[in-house]
A and B are shown apart, each in its own frame.
Chain A
Amino acid sequence: MDERTTSDPAIRTEGLTRRYGQTVAVRDLDLSVPRGSVLGLVGPNGAGKTTTIKLLLGLARPTAGRAEVLGFDAITQSLEVRRRTGYAPENDAVYGWMTVRDALDFCRGLYPTWDRERAGRCLDLFGLAAGQRVAAMSRGMRRQLALVLAVAARPQLLLLDEPTEGLDPDRRRDFFGVILEDVAADGSTVLISSHQLHEVERVADRVAFLRAGRLVREGSLDSIKETERQVRVVFQGAPPPDLAAWPELGRAHAEGRTWVLAVRGDLHAVLARLRALNPFALEVVERNLEDLYFSLGREADGDAHPPSAD
């Protein structure tokens, strides 16, 4: 194994930018993904998720900045990157004239790390027959084949672009529950771009939020949840007039008589101050990835506003 593969992060980007004419698909992206982690790349359509993945694989060239994958430059050493990376693209891309066996044979010849046993196990799990022609498969089946091809190479890095799009719930469960756990147990790094936020939350230990090509927030899911907590409070009367000036608070908004306060600083200090106001109700809200997705999205869109007491 190359020395680089043990010491560097799996993915490191610095100022990575890709423009298409006037459109900036990825803007000044600084990202560092530790080895062995499972990163969920989330964001709305057009956020730059697919372009980011293509930049990492050398399928697109950056307009500015650079990307290092598994210690290799994503452009000048793209071949080394692709030797060690499994990729299931967003759109079905396997040749229609191929059978499942043809596709496996083609890929097996290209990856020195190809694992026949894992390929066979995945095919069995998905119920794909070796003689099936890709052109005659449903979209979900083609998706399953793409996933098999990506994981059977025993990659050090697995890039999955909307991996479960078109899969039925059973296959989706099989993929996340069996295949991905198998890959993660290998110590491989996994990057999943998906709209299935609850599934990303189940498997990812880190998450990166992209919006309009910008990285809004990146870090371990636990630490983001820790720093993006909310408190719901019902005051006895009007909220304190200096609420907007509380340094621990981010966005605040009213839902009827209930105020929802985003806490950015010391939660215990905020709770103590609120309790001193003797509110009718006070609770800390556990936020899931979906809540974070929407609240970070609103902030990134400039919707965030300081708390106000009116």
Chain B
Amino acid sequence: MPIRPLLIKELREARWKLFTAGLVMVALGAVIPATHGFVVGLLEEVPLPPALLPQVQAQLRDVTTYLWANWPAKNLYQTLVVAALVFGAGALAPEFGRGTAVFLFSRPVTRRAVVLAKFAVGVAGLALAALAGTLALDLTARAVLGQGVPWTFYAALVPATAGASVVYGIALWFSARGDDGLRAGVWAALAAAALSVPSWVPNLQVASVYVHMTARPLFLEGRFPWLEVLGLAAVTALLVLASARALEGRDV
């Protein structure tokens, strides 16, 4: 079946969303190294609790640690989660809400192919936005702090994107069941919020998508988290299949 026209259509349809996500990522990536000096100065003036002082000072002294703490371990995955919710929730429900589903599904395309095309474009968009942000972080760090980021920052994009795919899959599933993208987004956001519960319990962190998105093993051990990425990919595959199934059962 010809999937190329579907991919082109999805790319053209999502281009402004993808562009905006890339722009936000680039802005965030650039701001972190650019504000390093400002943050150091600020913390010198702000009295910190003695218990936190050594940790904060260590983080600020080492530029790589500072950048890691603020990019893969925080802003990158948080922004990806929000973007994945927006992309996923807006993938299918609006086709029904605005009536274009009749045009799309009366063509010789399977609903599974439509879901896969939307997923492929959405997740590729998230990955590219994350890459653009990391490049902006790297280049700004070189320009402002005199040192770039190590390879682990780029490797961390893989678990971050894999986790974002899970969130995208959840939003896609809700989107496949309704006509309203906003409503699908709200339900998906609630589900995504529920997913954060294991992050708060140390023994349950192995089940936390968000913990895996921060790629801790890369920073702490220099080890790529293959197993975690495979687990996230498997969950994503199930969610995408469930979305396709939900869509196949719907009248247009």
Contacts and interface: CB of A to CB of B under 8 A. Distances in A.
Interface of A: 54, 57, 59-61, 79, 82-83, 87, 89, 91-97, 102, 105-111
B105 interface: yes
B191 to A, nearest CB: 28
Contacts of B98: 96
Nearest to B4: A109
Contacts of A96: 98
- Give the residue among A57, A83, A95 with the most B Cβ atoms within 10 A: A95
A91 B102 contact: yes
A95 B106 contact: no
Contacts of B100: 93-95
Interface stretch (B6-14, B159-167, B205-213, B238-246): B6-14
Contact of B8 (A59, A61, A91, A106): A106
Interface string B101-144: 11101111110000000000000000000000000000000000
Contacts of B109: 79, 82, 110
B50 interface: no
B176 to A, nearest CB: 16
Given A89-B103, A95-B13, A82 B5 contact: no
A87 B106 contact: yes
Interface of B: 1-2, 4-5, 8-9, 12-13, 98-103, 105-110, 251-252
- Give the residue among B2, B98, B102 with the most A Cβ atoms within 10 A: B102
A304 to B, nearest CB: 34
A102 B11 CA distance: 12
A211 B100 CA distance: 28
A107 B99 CA distance: 17
A147 B4 CA distance: 24
A97 B11 CA distance: 12
B251 to A, nearest CB: 4
26 contacts: A57-B106, A59-B102, A60-B251, A79-B108, A79-B110, A82-B106, A87-B106, A89-B106, A91-B99, A92-B99, A93-B102, A94-B103, A95-B13, A95-B103, A97-B12, A105-B5, A105-B8, A107-B5, A107-B107, A109-B2, A109-B5, A110-B2, A110-B5, A110-B108, A110-B109, A111-B108
B92 to A, nearest CB: 14
Contacts of A79: 1, 108-110
A94 B101 CA distance: 9
B103 A93 contact: yes
A59 B252 contact: yes
A97 to B, nearest CB: 7
Contacts of A110: 2, 5, 107-109
Nearest to B106: A87
A267 to B, nearest CB: 44
Nearest to B7: A109
Nearest to A146: B103
Nearest to A93: B103
Contacts of A102: 12
Given A93-B99, A93-B102, A61 B108 contact: no
A95 B102 CA distance: 11
Nearest to B109: A110
A59 B9 contact: no
A92 B100 CA distance: 8
Contacts of A107: 5, 107
B196 to A, nearest CB: 35
A82 B108 contact: yes
B110 A89 contact: no
Contacts of B2: 109-110
Contacts of A92: 99
Contacts of B105: 59
A92 to B, nearest CB: 7
A176 B100 CA distance: 26
A61 B110 CA distance: 15
Contacts of A61: 251
B138 to A, nearest CB: 34
Contacts of A83: 108
- Give the residue among B9, B105, B106, B109 with the most A Cβ atoms within 10 A: B106
A95 B100 CA distance: 6
